[in-house]
Amino acid sequence: MAEPRADIEHLRRKVMKSKFINRNNKPREDDTEIDGSKIPDSFDARVTWPHCPSISYIRDQSQCGSCWAFSSAEVMSDRVCIASHGHKKVELSADDILSCCTDGGYGCDGGYLYAPWRYFIETGIVTGGLYDTKDACRPYQIPPCGYHKNETFYSNCTQEIDTPVCETKCQAGYPISYDNDKTFGKTSYNVSHSVSAIQREIMTNGPVVAGFIVYDDFYLYKSGIYKHTFGYEDGGHAVRILGWGEEGGVSYWLIANSWNTDWGENGRQNLSQFY
């Protein structure tokens, strides 16, 4: 499942402080009791909603602790498409959240997971995308670091990254104004931590954001089902849960990370539900 990597140190810069995982809003009251009898053994949002391409996207947060912004922007994009039955396909900007959401967000140092959703409702979020994307208002401003197959090399993963400056205007050449490019959320909520409640939420409304504590062995993941077995606590991380499954009697969450496609299984991981 795991093997040593020489470049583990640059991955450490991608996680947040653990404190950002520990502050949660109360879950919805109607999520505390869920009948699990009709929940399938496996589920994959990519298969259920093939008309929403954002569900399959894997992004790259580079040397910045911006997982809180990425995971939220990804789930928001997925859910906008799902709720519109595929009529509105949008890739919302992690950069807009990272640089401009300052109420509970601390840029590349991390952020509370409720913060992007409050920002989505109160302020709205413009379109974004990968670094150097042209057909979006605020693409990610931090280039990928290191070598990635069939991708442009920008720099080694050695330097510390500053949080990009908040800019309330779209990039040059984009034909829509910043204010007119925004998408707004209607509501946000935390789901009960029970497995069946999370499963029901994903089946009904699409992928969810999840936060957890990262240990040293998480960085070494290559394939299979990951379960923490060794190493020290190293911080907090936020990802997107796409579904679940079972292998060899072990139940797992199917998660999408934001560490490019060459991490894990094409950017994804099977994370034990008993992590």
Distance CA 16, CA 236 (A): 5
> pLDDT for 114-126, tens place per residue?
999 999 999 999 9
104 token code pair: 């509970």
User: Is 257 noted as a catalytic residue in this protein?
Assistant: yes
Q: Which of 52, 64, 67, 170 is catalytic?
A: 67
Q: Which residues contact 133 (CB under 8 A, 6 or more apart)?
A: 139, 140
> pLDDT for 153-178, tens place per residue?
767 777 778 999 999 999 999 999 99
User: Taking Cα atoms as reference points, which of 4, 2, 5, 9 lies closest to residue 157?
Assistant: 9
User: Is 81 noted as a catalytic residue in this protein?
Assistant: no
End-to-end CA, the chain: 15
Q: Which of 101, 237, 260, 270 is catalytic?
A: 237
- pLDDT of residue 192 exceeding 60: yes
User: Is 237 noted as a catalytic residue in this protein?
Assistant: yes
Q: Which of 170, 257, 260, 270 is catalytic?
A: 257
83 token code pair: 């709720």
Domains in the chain, CATH or no CATH each:
8-272 (3.90.70.10)
User: What's this model's pTM, rounded to 2 decimal places?
Assistant: 0.90
Please answer whether residues 272 and 227 qualify as being in contact, where contact means their C-beta atoms are separated by less than 8 angstroms: yes
